[in-house]
Amino acid sequence: MEYERVVELLESEWSDDGFYSHIRDGRFDPAEFARALDKIKSLSFDEDAALPRRVVSLLWYLPLLMQWQRERVRDAGGDTAAYGKAIDLMTNEIERLLGVP
């Protein structure tokens, strides 16, 4: 997969209609999360691939952002149990792609 396409795919969820934009407002929609997660699941990189900085920044930041928005989702009346599971699922996918220390 071309890295420009990967960046485009990841950035699409930061748009006004994207999952990450919505959780910044405290709006957690499980269907939107599933769409964003499916995009991450569609990615794979060779073990020794040298990933562009932009790709790495877009990926590693996702679980952090989701953690930081936990209170906003709660305060907006979101399903905190489902949101917690979503954070775990996203973290697992990022670990699959980037590895762990």
Confidence label for 1 from pLDDT (cuts 50, 70 and 90): low
CB 52 within 8 A of CB 3: yes
Q: Give the pLDDT score at 59.
A: 95
Q: Are the CB atoms for 86 and 30 separated by under 8 Å? A: yes
Task: Identify which of 13, 83, 80 has the alpha carbon closest to the alpha carbon of residue 42.
Answer: 13
- pLDDT of 8-62, one tens digit each? 999 999 988 999 999 999 999 999 999 999 999 999 999 998 999 999 999 999 9
Say how far apart CA 56 and CA 47 lie, in whole Å: 14
Look up the pTM and report it.
Answer: 0.92
CB 27 within 8 A of CB 78: yes
- Predicted confidence (pLDDT) per residue in 82-95, tens digit: 999 999 999 999 99
According to DSSP, residue 9 is labeled H
